[in-house]
Structure 1
Amino acid sequence: MSQSVIGGNAVAGGVGKDQPLGFNHRPSPSRVRLDACEAKDQPAFIGYLPYGFPNAEGSLQAIETICRHGVDLVEIGLPYSDPVMDGQVIQSAARIALDQGERIAGVFEAVELVAACGAVPLIMSYWNLIFHYGVENFARDFANAGGAGLITPDLIPDEAGEWIEVSDQHGLDRIFMVSPDSSQDRLKTVAGNSRGFVYAASRMGVTGEQESISASPQTLVETTRQAGADKVCVGLGVSTGDQGAQVGAYADGVIVGSALVHCLLDDSGRRSRDLQEGLNLLAAKSDELSLGIHTARLS
């Protein structure tokens, strides 16, 4: 009896009604946008904001603001009760979002908004949230909303078998992370299993704004490319247009999170500021970063 392999599983007798979904062959949405930026000799501006902060409606307005002010890809964060890899700014935003009753099901409205604005919608989430929602259910709902891919800071490819299979079935990007202490074998494993781009963390430790950017991210980008990655985007620490230009000179994309979230927090860093004031600051910061990043390779 003949067999065909569909979605990574052998199916006796070819196509049958109980077979799993086949592979989705749509091009990587993240890669398509990064290629479009590269064609203009520009790095991509990738902005992060958490869904539900300062509240559900306010977060949609904030996400729309960065889309209208130069962001190419949007990382929509899923607030988590124990965000061990996030700095104080994002932790504060996550706490406020959770206090406002943020729920994972609502994030798909934000995904639809980003897609409608013409940017590429990504979700960044600790894996436990996806696991409890249901990996197949999440992938289906995310893809139906127009989602492009998932960034999983605490999920390594070695433990991502279910996600790798399901993301292939739904045509979703898999964005795994590397850091300056990643071994050559780890870099190869991440490069071989990522789809869209590899997320290069510019330093070890939690996220947050930095006063200066060291040379280590450039070395990490180079070694990750040597390990087989086609696109490498750098995150964790960029907070000014000048820093964005510095990183954009060698990276395929520059990822900014805390500097954007900071605009929506008051001076104490623990409470959200007046929304309109925050949106104005957010628009100005996005414009600054967009200019710096998108002109990084002009001489």
Structure 2
Amino acid sequence: MSSFVRRGCLDLQYGFVSSTMPGAERIRRAILEARRPALLPFFSAGHPSAGEFHSILEQLADAGDVVEIGVPFSDPMADGVTIQRASEAALANGVSLDWILRELKAHGDPGAPLVLMSYYNPLLAYGLENLAERCGECHVGGLIVPDLPWEECDSVRELFEDHGVGLVQMVTPATPAERMRTLCGGSGGFVYAVTVTGVTGGERRVSEEMTAYMQRVGECSSLPVCAGFGVRSADQVRTLAGVADGVIVGSAVVDCLERGEDPGDFLRSLRA
């Protein structure tokens, strides 16, 4: 039995997602209860405009299972051209981490669990303790910090876990087996399996090597494993079924928004 199926079957005894449960647990269950590869759309807060933030969040929360919100940063080193451009536009629109949190609190629970994706500097500048306290009132259950190494994250991880917020760890095809087990064991909510080394964006073929890699990650993790970087088509999602608990859809959503299309319709097309 695959790790994907095994994790899903074991979770059925625990009931359904509730907005009152700790954020990281809410994320985990939302992914598993999808009973298919869950959809985790990403968008950069404040792009294409700050005024569209709430409507985009609602569309993504309605069509997706967990929503990733990007905090704009001036040097997004792990992101491709599409998300870099969106981040630059958001900064030009006056969007910051504080702005995002204020908007999330005012908006209320969107109906899907939320994950913030941010580089470390904006979090430090805001104040880690302050951020951890505010995540709960803003319905944020997870954090992805791509430039925070495992060796330096213990105190950060413990701080946010004390507030029910999971620090999501990222693995790649180049991650050694022992380190992969460590990262999977220390992740919160889910494990982010980068499917290719390098920056985000661009459509990737789901190769036999990628499938084998996803299986290796699944064998190391008791949490859901979600595949990221390059997911753009229903064929990719279907191919990943059975080896991925979820798929992260980033650059394709940002492209959709730039074309003025409904990102919810695009996400629903991935389930076809």
The TM-score normalised by the length of structure 2 is: 0.86
Question: Letter of the aligned partner of 1:73 in structure 2?
Answer: V
Q: CA deviation at 1:99?
A: 0.9
Name 2:266's counterpart in structure 1.
285
Measured after TM superposition, the shift of residue 109 of structure 1 is 4.5
Q: Which has the higher contact order (CA 8 A, sep 6+)?
A: 2
% same residue: 33
* CA deviation vs aligned residue, 1:92-126 (integer Å, no higher than 9, x gap): 11111111111111112454588623111111111
The answer to whether 1:65 aligns with 2:46 is no
TM-align CA RMSD: 1.9
Q: Which amino acid in the other structure matches residue 168 of structure 2?
A: I
2:243 matches 1:253: no
Tell me which residue corresponds to 1:227: 220
Matched, 1:52 2:46: yes
Query: Which residues of structure 1 form unaligned runs of 5+?
Result: 1-24, 267-277, 293-299
Task: Report the alpha carbon displacement of residue 149 of structure 1 after superposing the two structures with TM.
Answer: 0.8
Aligned to 2:32: 35
* CA distance, structure 2, for counterparts of residue 115 and residue 216 of structure 1: 42
Matches within 5 A, 1:1-299: 26=22, 28-37=25-34, 41-68=35-62, 70-109=63-102, 111-112=104-105, 116-210=109-203, 212-266=205-259, 278=260, 280-289=261-270, 291-292=271-272
Q: Distance in 1 between the 2:65 and 2:161 partners?
A: 23
* CA radius of gyration, larger in: 1
Gaps of 5+ in 2: 1-20
CA shift at 1:136, angstroms? 0.8
Paired residue secondary structure (2:41): strand
Tell me the alpha carbon deviations over residues 123-157 of structure 1, each in whole angstroms, 9 at most, x when there is no partner: 11111111111111111111221211111212222
Following superposition, the deviation at residue 160 of structure 1 comes to 0.2
Number of aligned residues? 251
Shift of 1:165: 1.4
Distance 2:54 2:42 in 1: 13
